[in-house]
Chain A
Amino acid sequence: MKSPYARFALSRTAQAVVVVLLAYVFTFIVISVLPGDPVSSTLKSPDSGFTQDDIDRIIAYYGLDEPLLTQLWTALTRFLIGDFGISLRSNLPVSQLIAEALPSTLILATTALIVAIILAALIAWGTQVLPGEYGQGLLRALPSLFLSVPNFVIGLLLIQVFAFGLGLFRIIDAESPWSTFFAAVALGIPVSAQLAEVLIANLDHESRQEYVAVARSQGLRRTRLFARHLVKPSALPTITVLALIVGELLGGSLITETIFGRTGIGTLVQRAVASQDLPVLQAVVSLAAVVFVVVNLIADLAYPLLDPRVSLEHSLRSRDSDPTTEQPIRTTLQEEVSVI
């Protein structure tokens, strides 16, 4: 007998596998439509001086002259047994490239997330507890400012001031703690803006509720009110946003990594796109899909725990049987992926 949890988990896992496979095939199709391949583009570089004959022979070795469907089938069967193949560009195993790049990106993304959460929380806290002119004016303007300044401008400014000016870190020690911290700040600032906006909106909403008026009338101070009553309900939608932000961190890491000289998934993708290195691209897209699916699954599961009104039973039943029942606020996986 299956418990609702098992049913829930099973269906989500099946969905996840389908999403990953579709992402894989989709990448293949899109890249195949583009002109060129990494092998011939390297061989055709004007400095190399190869004849078309030489190029054709090397391309035949890589199977790049096979029909597209054959190439897709080879890639797909390899992928299903966990073999990501050999990078066409570097000739190194794709799994090795990813294993080398992943830790750097994970550290950067995690640090950036922490920076973003702290920054967003501080801004949101400030808007509720600081006096009008600071809390309402200055702090509320910050998120839109953060969003409008491009990521790389923030990054270059941080480097100019803290690396070249103050000598706090060196570009060439890209993985050092200070270097990582400033890269995380550059990446985390735009992300914090989104978090802060959602958080502020929810805090505003909650603070208009009757229970807040009651609490205020009982003489509760702003800070206590914030910590005791406002944070928890306002955090709920923020968690939804957090799950979406993971995707943003992965995407945003590209520019940050390039500027700060880090070698992570972002730079790996950049080089793979520039040279149409299909095996690498497919592996990274699948990896991104897996991360996204897992993070959303975690968010899905965390939601009922934070808000008893959104129960698992409720969420399952409402979809299976009774369409008129109020839908849970949390969007489903498919909806999110299709939005991206």
Chain B
Amino acid sequence: MTTRTRHPLQRAALTVTTALATIALIAGCASGIAPQASTGSDEPQEGGDITFLIDSLGATWIPNSSSISSYQGHVWGHVTDKLIYVDGEGELSPWVAESWEQNDAATEFTIHLKAGVTFSDGTPLDAAAVVANIDIWAKGAPDKGIARIGLFPSANYVGAEAVDDTTVKVTFSKATLSFIPTLAYHGSILISPETLALPAEEQADLSNDIGSGPFVVESWKEGDSVVLKKRDDYDWGPEALDHTGPAYLDSITYKIVAEPTLRTGSVQSGQADVAYNASPQELDALKDEGFFVSVPRYLGFVNGYALNVTAAPFGEEAVRQAFSHGIDRDEILSTVYTEDWHAAESFVQSNVPEATDHTDAFAYDPEESAQLLDDAGWVEGADGVREKDGQRLALTLYANPYLATSKAIDELVAQQLAEIGFKVDIEAYDVVTYGEKVINNKTLAATEITRSFVDIGTIPGVLTASNPGDEDWFKVGTSDATLNDLSAQVASATDRDSRAAVFDDLQQYVLEKGYFVPITQIVQRVYVQTPDLHDVTYNGLAYANYYTAWADR
């Protein structure tokens, strides 16, 4: 029974979606309650309970393993605080850390904490607690089965110490400009040291995970829901949010509803307040009905392909460039997405502070593509696929199961590239198989990228293989001296201004070489919300924050 379920299940899920169109027709009578216009008051009101419908609440609640998840991150964002806040433009500002400074070499950082911050069990959030947290982010506890936080600059981490009750000093072996921004990352949540000392199976019980956030866990049921209630003595929210004291809302309920149309249907019929991850195609209709749609972008890489220079046909620069210029991104935006999505301008999202516009380096130009391939000796065969020395110009794209629109994009790309002589096949796997066959597979010609980060200091580690643990996306290793040099300059920079200048060159170089082929800026978190919920904020990782929100009802 169990082992057969996977594929029928997936089929069922597909069929559910297609069947819904029919059902919408049959049940046309059931369009539900029309949203009411706000009663007009701009003054925040105390009280109110909201329900947030989400596709999943991920795997486990062990803080280190789950806080970077796109699902559990919502709950953590309300139950815990961070040292630093990052807004949608990548701007850093004080939160639990009142201020911070660094030495000229960017290897030593001193963080000054707000006094009087407490965890919800009453214990102080002091320097010792921060040291315990930084240590577990950097190293994890592998002997307890607890991983470190991905994207934390662990490789250079030397240690953290409590100078006094409110001062923490953190040391790295090399310049690590990305450290301070990483403190605002959704993985870097402050948890009570007592929780961190628990064994994995007790940390996995969310009710044991004590944070200092504006909400506390009232109850939870694994795989079903989490209920948060307001903490009345909270008074240390991010300064940037311009709100002091406790939250306005009394409670937030996160409830799993796996089927996307049921999530939006619940909000449409007034049974829930927020539906997470609606499909782009639904959004325009929902807006027309008066619902509020948010598609905040996170700081990170754009959605695109990393091309493997050691795999045919991408060993040739001309082929990579032809591939890049052969993709009509406007058609993808207008076909797969709505006007809320933006064209990529570089290989990082345009809200990353150091991002600059390099659109020309990968602009759609099929004639240019054809010319490049002609010059490189790729001749069109009888079936329209180009060939050279008996090799066909063929590759396979693997749709990214973490991005719902990935397969549709790959299909369009395949069509567009077929016109200039590429033969593109598409394979779509579930998350587990994808992890096994695609991620870390060094032989694939192209790998689709969607990844968030808070600071470009993380980027050199994916572009080359200069250090152990580097991801080497394009498999160039250290063979490209220019790429090496530019990456090393970004990695070892000691101030953000000089780094931004080098990063501009690096973006142009990577795109011109056709190593990274951007498609669109990514929106991985889509919120459909009732209009009577006001002042929701979105941080730099595109998470909705209800600390400042209030309900007008």
Chain B residues within an 8 Å CB radius of A250: 1
- A43's nearest neighbour on chain B, judged by CB, is B147
- B9's nearest neighbour on chain A, judged by CB, is A270
For the complex, give the distance between the alpha carbons of A161 and B29 in Å.
8
- A104's nearest neighbour on chain B, judged by CB, is B224
Instruction: Say which residue of A44, A89, A269 sits within 8 Å of B439 (CB atoms).
Output: A44
Instruction: Say which residue of B1, B30, B62 sits within 8 Å of A164 (CB atoms).
Output: B30
Ranked nearest first, the 10 interchain pairs of A and B with the lowest CB-CB distance are A165-B30, A91-B204, A263-B224, A48-B150, A160-B27, A49-B150, A164-B269, A35-B436, A51-B469, A61-B145
Are B27 and A161 closer than 8 Å at their CB atoms? yes
Interface 0/1 of B1-42, CB less than 8 Å to A: 111011001001001100110011011011110000000000
Are A42 and B59 closer than 8 Å at their CB atoms? yes
Chain A residues within an 8 Å CB radius of B253: 172
A–B complex contacts, Cβ < 8 Å, 8 sampled: A47-B150, A49-B150, A152-B19, A161-B30, A164-B271, A165-B27, A172-B51, A275-B59
Chain B residues within an 8 Å CB radius of A36: 432-433, 435-436
In the complex, B262 has a CB within 8 A of chain A: yes
Given contacts A44-B440, A90-B204, A164-B30, contact A258 B452 (CB under 8 A): no
Chain A residues within an 8 Å CB radius of B3: 27, 30-31, 273
Known interface pairs A48-B151, A172-B53; 10 further A-B residue pairs with C-beta atoms within 8 A, sorted by A's residue number = A27-B2, A34-B432, A36-B432, A42-B60, A46-B402, A165-B31, A165-B269, A170-B271, A273-B2, A276-B432
Are A165 and B32 closer than 8 Å at their CB atoms? yes
In the complex, A72 has a CB within 8 A of chain B: no
- B-side residues, CB < 8 A to A, are 1-3, 5-6, 9, 12, 15-16, 19-20, 23-24, 26-27, 29-32, 51, 53, 59-62, 65, 68-70, 140, 142-148, 150-151, 200-201, 203-205, 221-225, 253, 255-259, 262, 265-266, 268-269, 271-272, 400, 402, 430-433, 435-437, 439-440, 449-452, 458, 468-469, 471
In the complex, A340 has a CB within 8 A of chain B: yes
Chain A residues within an 8 Å CB radius of B6: 273-274
Given contacts A42-B65, A92-B204, contact A62 B145 (CB under 8 A): yes
Q: Which of A138-146, A281-289, A312-320 contacts B (4 or more CB under 8 A)?
A: A281-289
Chain B residues within an 8 Å CB radius of A161: 27, 29-30
Are A340 and B59 closer than 8 Å at their CB atoms? no
Chain A residues within an 8 Å CB radius of B431: 41, 45, 274
Are B15 and A152 closer than 8 Å at their CB atoms? yes
- B3's nearest neighbour on chain A, judged by CB, is A30
In the complex, A231 has a CB within 8 A of chain B: no
Given contacts A30-B3, A164-B265, A261-B257, contact A47 B69 (CB under 8 A): yes
Q: Which of A3-11, A52-60, A200-208 contacts B (4 or more CB under 8 A)?
A: A52-60
Are B269 and A163 closer than 8 Å at their CB atoms? yes
- A-side residues, CB < 8 A to B, are 27, 30-31, 34-36, 38, 40-54, 57-58, 61-62, 86, 89-93, 97, 100-101, 150, 152-153, 156-157, 159-161, 163-167, 170-172, 174, 247, 250-251, 254-255, 258-259, 261, 263, 267-276, 281, 284-285, 288, 340
Chain A residues within an 8 Å CB radius of B262: 156, 159, 171, 259, 261
Q: Give min CB distance, A249 to chain B, whole Å.
A: 12
Q: Give min CB distance, B458 to chain A, whole Å.
A: 8
Instruction: Say which residue of A49, A58, A160, A284 sits within 8 Å of B30 (CB atoms).
Output: A160
For the complex, give the distance between the alpha carbons of A157 and B225 in Å.
24
Are A92 and B222 closer than 8 Å at their CB atoms? yes
Given contacts A36-B436, A44-B440, A91-B60, contact A281 B2 (CB under 8 A): yes
Are A91 and B221 closer than 8 Å at their CB atoms? no
- B461's nearest neighbour on chain A, judged by CB, is A49
